[in-house]
Structure 1
């Protein structure tokens, strides 16, 4: 196998068998796990686009959805067009493809800039990272694996073209992917672009390039992509400014700007240890860096040093943000695995096959998890099962008639630094919370959006919190166990 030159035939077979087991383990039960977390919300927004034939202005329960731009939903619309449905496995397919593409990208880049052994190890280290293998790929209806691929591509473009001293493609393509990232997840992509450019050009003493016409061209390229969308959104009757400001509001919610003293202190102390745990078992390879007697072991290869710099500068905002979640860090895993695989290859005396056997063990573990643990988990997800049972009962009680949900909305003031700079402080009205799994099942069965409606209309079935309707005297058809600490009712106004 010429693609794996420098690796014994026995080790090649072990690596390929491990890869086959990973693919099988991840894909064999893609649709079996009940949608959880943010997964059903992604499906709801996409289905509302399809039902409403409006692909420009995303909505959630019929209300403008400002929390995320629509690129992921557009991809899911394409999946729906391809398969004719958006069942659980179809919803999860784009992120799973992104997961394996990231592994393939790691292999190609490491093969070119380090060697084949590191390429094999780094890609398989990534694919067998337990956080991804046993969590991220299970709940892959969320967009974080896909976002990780977009950010990883954005960043490696900077490295490759900086090495080639080609400034125009560096800035144009990296800003293009920054725009794609912003259209997926929002403001964090801007921070990745800015911090990475600063550390790369200052580290190489070429900071004057940041003031070049090539950089300006890149800014215009990324800005044009974003302008075209938000201009089209506003031109089609949407509130583009509120949308744009809310993306920064979403980012600031989880940042140091919203942190409280004790919460910040505990997060700041625990974060490094949490990252070491997140990278286990491969983070143990850092011991080789500690034991290494040579100075600056990371600086002996340009890609490895670039990976260290990228992680070091870009992880700081997450270190200072108590609201951050594990899945927000996925984009650091590819570069972390490059560093760890390099340490194993260059500074350990342990044969390659020992690492491959551990990879094989994790791959077998993922297959066993899919075959035996996931079916057990599905049967014992009591909260999710309860919500789906409520949805079934609502369908039976309403007998095909229109069902909406209502209640007093919350108000959020968009007063983040960007809003203050632009002088465009805005208010956004947020409907009461409802489990997305309930809404999604109702939508799938009725073939129409499950919309929020307030004030209440006569002759329509409503699902709402009991305390919101106590003084209105509706016909209460059934009461349900509450969610989010509130009792809910199915009712009708006459």
Structure 2
């Protein structure tokens, strides 16, 4: 049974609504404030080459991701939604690439399943697709560069790798070159490793990367070495953790399980391999269809050679493998293609069970916890119920198990996102300190003193992002003999204390020197 394109359009609209709902509600957290501060200071100083944090040089990450956030700040305003927008768009971009890459190989329905399987995964829709961090944009560039290898567009892949290198540093290289070498060796074409296109691609990568370093250093060899050293240290610190064999073995076992969980709900399709009939049909599809065979082995090779790096290293995190969730989605497409012809599991029955469960949970929340009605969570609850009932109708009207599987995976991903937003994220919003409000009060006090120069010795970056935004100026390191306003955790650093603010981490003093 063919998937109705009108239904696909409705699913995309619901997906976009879920992704953008309350995108800017939560305060910046984790590494988000740092990325936002760098972007904000780029706009203040008009220096888009050398990242700074509170006026101090920051060399641990190259600037490309921050440049895009800075552009969005100029277009859409300085706020959380603008900072996170590049991650949401990158998530959409990866899903679109998945669809376009395999549509002609596995068909429209399977390509839609693969794309939405990635787009609704826990790691994308709940985690890094919603954060103003480098991971999702980096993954878009890396995943695109890996697809270029499959489609033999090596120079374009090299250019995308160079951009990924300017986003998150040296991990971009292992994703591209390990995939390239593994694929050529599998195809018994090792000589291609030394072809003109591969060498030319390497020159493109080196030229763009070292060109940025030369612009950054401005001819100062010390600054050049310092920036290069920080980038090497940031990447090398991940492999310095192999000290105890036991910890490494423990991580090697747990890491694949964690990867599977982060891929839910779509990763559940890997359980189909427990069915012997499905395994037989899958093997037959791989051996009888050369295009599917090529896609499958490329996906497996590119996944294994890169996944093992982070599976072996005890400090390897699932977020470091985010590009591989795109690769995994290619395999989702193949599994769905095989499932269309061998519906080994009654997806309709289990899909309805899942949706009835979600309806029960959201209905209880709506009926018995009236506090939901007094908070913005009512939006998430209402949308969740609409999605639940809509997909129940679709599933009941559809006889195809494969389409019901698609509906179940998409609905589950959207409903998990809404449940997370309505409960845990709402809790975090009330739990976190209101840095927006505190920064606004601090900014009014500082601006009342008509400062030309504001200095700080650092502290909570959440606070300082909102403070720089409200002051509409860059903060600088404290300099002896420099007159201006000082924000510090050490009252001895100011001659006259104007005001103080007590925060969970420290008391911050505003004063003059």
* 2:442 counterpart of 1:447: no
Runs of 5+ unmatched residues, structure 2: 346-400
Instruction: Please list the CA deviations of residues 145-176 of structure 1 after superposition, one character each: whole Å capped at 9, or x if unmatched.
Output: 11111011100000011xxxxxxx42x22211
Instruction: Please list the CA deviations of residues 403-433 of structure 1 after superposition, one character each: whole Å capped at 9, or x if unmatched.
Output: 3212xxxxxxxxxxxxxxxxxxxxxxxxx5x
How many residue pairs are counted as aligned between the two chains? 442
Question: Do the aligned residues in 1 keep the contact of 2:145 with 2:161 (CA within 8 Å)?
Answer: yes
* 2:147 counterpart of 1:156: yes
**In structure 1, C-alpha distance between the alignment counterparts of 2:90 and 2:471, rounded to whole Å:** 31
Instruction: Please list the CA deviations of residues 107-130 of structure 1 after superposition, one character each: whole Å capped at 9, or x if unmatched.
Output: 111112222221011011111112
Instruction: Please list the CA deviations of residues 444-467 of structure 1 after superposition, one character each: whole Å capped at 9, or x if unmatched.
Output: 11111122225x44654333344x
* Match in the other structure for 2:251: 267
Instruction: Please list the CA deviations of residues 211-261 of structure 1 after superposition, one character each: whole Å capped at 9, or x if unmatched.
Output: 2223221211221112222222222668222112211111122x2313443
* Match in the other structure for 2:352: none
SS at match of 2:22: coil
* Match in the other structure for 2:440: 392
> Which structure shows the bigger proportion of residues in helix conformation?
2
**In structure 1, C-alpha distance between the alignment counterparts of 2:268 and 2:109, rounded to whole Å:** 19
Question: Do the aligned residues in 2 keep the contact of 1:289 with 1:297 (CA within 8 Å)?
Answer: no
1:251 to 235, 248, 265: 235
1:225 to 208, 211, 215: 208
**In structure 2, C-alpha distance between the alignment counterparts of 1:481 and 1:461, rounded to whole Å:** 18
Q: 1 or 2 for the larger relative contact order (CA 8 Å, sep ≥6)?
A: 1
Between 292-301 and 219-228, report the one with greater CA deviation. 292-301
For normalisation by structure 1, the TM-score amounts to 0.81
Question: Do the aligned residues in 2 keep the contact of 1:182 with 1:188 (CA within 8 Å)?
Answer: yes
**In structure 1, C-alpha distance between the alignment counterparts of 2:174 and 2:181, rounded to whole Å:** 11
RMSD: 2.8
**In structure 1, C-alpha distance between the alignment counterparts of 2:151 and 2:443, rounded to whole Å:** 55
Runs of 5+ unmatched residues, structure 1: 1-5, 162-168, 407-431
**In structure 1, C-alpha distance between the alignment counterparts of 2:284 and 2:142, rounded to whole Å:** 26
**In structure 1, C-alpha distance between the alignment counterparts of 2:174 and 2:144, rounded to whole Å:** 15
For normalisation by structure 2, the TM-score amounts to 0.79
* Match in the other structure for 2:509: 490
**In structure 1, C-alpha distance between the alignment counterparts of 2:112 and 2:282, rounded to whole Å:** 26
1:175 to 158, 168, 171: 158
Structure 2 CA distance for partners of 1:263 and 1:437, relative to 1, 3 Å: farther
Question: Do the aligned residues in 2 keep the contact of 1:459 with 1:492 (CA within 8 Å)?
Answer: no
Question: Do the aligned residues in 2 keep the contact of 1:298 with 1:339 (CA within 8 Å)?
Answer: no
Structure 2 CA distance for partners of 1:77 and 1:392, relative to 1, 3 Å: closer
* 2:398 counterpart of 1:405: no
**In structure 2, C-alpha distance between the alignment counterparts of 1:216 and 1:20, rounded to whole Å:** 43
